[in-house]
Structure 1
């Protein structure tokens, strides 16, 4: 959430998925202040979601291109879109429809279990500490309470 701590970051990434690559195009499409856009693009490059690719030498100018890590963020945007379509769309329906090229049908994102492919719902999922959970946090009382009662046998 550190990376997405503001609402501009997902919007910049959304525009990148629409094919926007240049600073001025991002600024025009989003109506974002130059200094804010400089900060967001710099952060997305540092985090490896975008790559700066020079397209002009004098002066040096760059395209901002999605990396594999950045392209993988599409799933997050699609899930946000599904939520917005359900809870924010008016009677006319969703403002954008996704069309799946492979099967030719309109669709929406679903979060499913990677094992059985059933939809994942909050009430059907337990949270457990994973192998990468920071050891220095694992023994804190607030963290222990968060995971207490989550184990089922």
Structure 2
């Protein structure tokens, strides 16, 4: 993809609506890091958008649904997609459990045990990322690495600490 197309098919800003709520300083830091990583490197294109980006994304939660409000750089609305979080509940729950195991293992387990837990963690993260891409198919085109970063953000939104 040439530079202009890459510049136009990307996010330049991600905002969390006040509906998301605020959390502990540690979780707020994780959210900020997830947003930074997403903006730093992504491939993001609303389907059938002829106007092109770059884009701004505002995420909010309404009735346990994740709302993707997409706008152009200048603020002009492009589209809004509402995604049920139900298909992600099990993956996110399992992901948090394995992350807890991973952090506990770092203190006491052997390197091979830590590596096995980390492989499981990455596998769940990949499953969540693919589920996200599948649920947004035909609505938002994003590469797998961008889906991984958005899924990280979805997880951090659920993290209560």
Same fold (TM over 0.5): no
TM-score by length of 2: 0.23
> Looking at both structures, which has the greater relative contact order when contacts are Cα pairs under 8 Å and sequence separation is at least 6?
2
Q: Which has the larger radius of gyration?
A: 1
Structure number having the greater helix percentage: 2
TM-score by length of 1: 0.24
